[in-house]
Structure 1
Amino acid sequence: MSHDDFAIEPIEGLPERPPEGEHILWQGRPDWWALAKDSLNVWWVMGYFLFLAAWRFVSLVDQVPLMRALVLALPFIILGGIVCGLLMIFAYVQARTTMYTVTNKRVAMRIGAALTVTLNLPYRQIVNADLRMRGKTGTIAFEVPKDVKLGYLTCWPHVRPWRSPVQPALRCIPEPKKIAEMISDAAEARVSTPVIERRGAPSGSPVQVAAE
């Protein structure tokens, strides 16, 4: 399901070239601003610091001159701006280092800025998919079998929040409905295709095959 991606990528977003019979349908990245708002909650963080600044101002305005109260409240606004700036930088870096790939056989997610990891999600191992719209972008989360162990911190922020077991997700992608339909069609075609397995047979005996 995962691959430590330290080698040079022959195709951006994939640690190796797709095998014969597999072809890429779509590749894309998260929208960094949508990622900052949806995953990192930058507006909530900004609102929290504005609340602290307002609380500081109100608690001091009847004790000190007006300008003095404003000056004493200003550090919270400055600190909030710094924190929100760092969150936006983090979101931008995450978006630039991420590459989502949809093929006719799997969904691959090259994620991580400091430690790059590629998650491979074959359609036969995806139990369910969920689309959540947020304006012009959306998130497609994948439910995988319970025996597939994925680390929340390893995948974050490319996961569905507050879900256990972990559900990896294509976060804040453009044209999410189009991509969801593409994945649905590819998964249906892949799952409905029988897997032919050659079983050993004595010499001269007919070969027995089984379809899953």
Structure 2
Amino acid sequence: MPHDDFEQEPIRGLPELPPSGEEILWQGAPSGWALAKDALKVKWVAGYFVLLFGWRAIVAGAEMPPMQAIIASSFYLILGVLTCGLLIATAYAQAKSAVYTITNRRVIMRIGAALTMTLQFPFRWVEAADLVMRRDGTGTIALRTSGETRFSYLLMWPHLRPWRMAKTQPALRCIPDAARVAKLLADAAGADTAMPQLARDDDAASTIGTMPVPAE
């Protein structure tokens, strides 16, 4: 008999019905392709294998005809296609299993393709949220939580802000229309400004902003 791991959810992405007075304002999930590019760096991996192929073809070309050198080096292209295919499949599996929810009281994240867990962040636990926008319109909203609670980097990956290992920042990763969602979150949390002020980050080819999320 087929089994749905989420069939016990009263509402998709939620472990139980919201209490009286709490309203769901938005639900979404990562873009699979954006997650493959941003979290799994599939374009960099593809470029690496293309460079390996080119280098091997040039070296082999000194000892055999060009066409034979290309055929002999094609192993790296095949390996690259298989590796990138695996990374893309992983990204889409993570995106399909994830549900991000924003209510008028908290942020809820149901994440995990193999080991599913649900995390809840009442607005009073969130000191600020950082918005990272990509050129394709997708973006990441990272939550800076208060207190001393630590979250496992490995268990939460890729639904977090990368390279923040001292204190993991849970994140709504690679979501479409991230700017609108960031505004909705700021309004729901009662932030003083409707939108974060964005600043260019050329290294990441993105824009980054911070929106204060005051305690309830």
- The two structures, once aligned, show a CA RMSD in angstroms of 1.7
Superposition pairs of residues 114-153 of structure 1, within 5 angstroms: 114-134=114-134, 135-153=136-154
- Identify the residue that residue 182 of structure 2 maps to in structure 1: 180
CA separation in 2, counterparts of 1:152 and 1:116? 15
- Identify the residue that residue 14 of structure 1 maps to in structure 2: 14
Instruction: Call closer, same or farther: CA 1:149–1:192 in 2, change over 3 Å.
Output: closer
- Identify the residue that residue 161 of structure 1 maps to in structure 2: 162
Superposition deviation, residue 145 in structure 1: 2.3
Determine if contact 2:123/2:215 at 8 Å carries over to the other structure.
no
Instruction: Call closer, same or farther: CA 1:172–1:192 in 2, change over 3 Å.
Output: closer
Which amino acid in the other structure matches residue 73 of structure 1? S
| 1:117-165 CA distance string (max 9 Å, x none) | 1110111001110001112111100111251110001110011000131
- Per the normalisation by structure 1, the TM-score is 0.85
| 1:85-119 CA distance string (max 9 Å, x none) | 01111111111111000000100000001110111
- Uncovered stretches (5+) of structure 2, i.e. residues with no partner: 192-212
CA separation in 2, counterparts of 1:148 and 1:105? 19
Q: Give SS of 1:101's match.
A: strand
Structure 1 segments of 4+ aligned residues over 6 angstroms from their partners: none
Q: Give SS of 1:171's match.
A: strand
Which amino acid in the other structure matches residue 172 of structure 1? C
- Per the normalisation by structure 2, the TM-score is 0.83
CA separation in 2, counterparts of 1:7 and 1:175? 28
Determine if contact 1:7/1:15 at 8 Å carries over to the other structure.
no
Deviates more, 1:35-44 or 1:181-190: 181-190
Determine if contact 1:146/1:165 at 8 Å carries over to the other structure.
no
- Identify the residue that residue 209 of structure 1 maps to in structure 2: none
- Identify the residue that residue 32 of structure 1 maps to in structure 2: 32
Superposition deviation, residue 6 in structure 1: 7.3
CA separation in 2, counterparts of 1:158 and 1:143? 13
Instruction: State the structure with more CA Rg.
Output: 1
Determine if contact 2:28/2:99 at 8 Å carries over to the other structure.
yes
CA separation in 1, counterparts of 2:18 and 2:64? 69
Q: Give SS of 1:179's match.
A: helix
| 1:22-44 CA distance string (max 9 Å, x none) | 11000011111111111111000
- Uncovered stretches (5+) of structure 1, i.e. residues with no partner: 194-212
| 1:156-194 CA distance string (max 9 Å, x none) | 00110001310010011111111111111111279565x
Superposition deviation, residue 12 in structure 1: 0.5
Which amino acid in the other structure matches residue 166 of structure 1? T
CA separation in 2, counterparts of 1:192 and 1:69? 64
Q: Give SS of 1:159's match.
A: coil
